[in-house]
Amino acid sequence: MTASCVYLAADAYMVCLTHALSTEREEVMGLCIGEIDTNRAVHIVSVIMLQRSDKRKDRVEISPEQLSMAASEAESLATLMGRPLRVIGWYHSHPHITVWPSHVDVRTQASYQFLDDGFIGLIFSCFNEEKETRAGQIQVTCFQSTNQSPEGEPPNYDRLEIPLFILPKDTISSSCLDALTELPKILSQEELEAYNHAAHNTQGSTTDFLTTIHNGAVYTKSLCHLMDVLSGPLMQCLENRLERNQHKLESLRQLKRSLQTQLQQ
Ligand SMILES: [Zn+2]
């Protein structure tokens, strides 16, 4: 049985979008945490960003370690929120290409549905310019796979679009906030791995002093770039929210005081 529709909480949606927009050259991916109700509607409350091990196009595989880590995170969130939450889907980005799932995506999705028939896939298309206006557009789709072959024949999977609704929210939940702050960590970890890889490759051969300096400079430059375009703006955005929340808190306190005086009169 497929899912009937998907409700994505606005804060989880924001985390996915921020993640998708953080990387223009490669696809990014993550897992969705949520639950499925008796009407087969999927409710996504939080997401987990994943570091990609294989950066080749269309290779969005999730390692068993990542899955088990996500499952235990979903479990602790379930205890915290008192809801039967689990890993209920995955998302990935399509930079510079259409939002529709590729054949590999549809097959990957089918393999997840084999384990859990409520499992859904989200795709975010970004950095994809509209031909006429040259305006950047962001598209999102939600899909599952269906087998078109008659029984007994080799499977032939097709995509099935699932209606997606974004649920407005006033606040960012703490699990979404944690996921958001994970992004600079993931990206700087990837830079470190690239640097270590380069350092390892040049080792052993005639140690070229200039190459060593060059690699170090490239690494420093990419970290500074990350701080400039991601960590800095993210911090500013969160500080703005904090300030707004403090104002709101103060006005609520004033309201409370005035209501209390009215009560005493
Ligand atoms: Zn894809």
Average pLDDT estimate for 216-244: 93
User: 55 falls in which pLDDT band (50, 70, 90)?
Assistant: low
Assess whether pLDDT exceeds 80 at residue 221: yes
Cβ atoms < 10 Å from Cβ of 92: 22
Average pLDDT, the chain: 90
Q: How far is the CA of 157 from the centre of ligand 1 (A)?
A: 15
Q: Output the pTM of the full model.
A: 0.85
Q: pLDDT tens, 78-116?
A: 998 889 999 999 999 999 999 999 999 999 999 999 989
Which residues make up the environment of ion ligand 1, defined by Cβ < 5 Å?
102, 105
CA of 161 to the centre of ligand 1 (A): 14
Q: For every residue of 155-223, which 3-state class applies, written as one string?
A: CCEEEEECCEEEECCCCCCHHHHHHHHHHHHHHHHHHHHHHHHHHHHHCCCCCCHHHHHHHHHHHHHHH
CA–CA separation, 188 and 72 (whole Å): 24
Contacts of 188 (CB under 8 A, 6+ apart): 223, 226
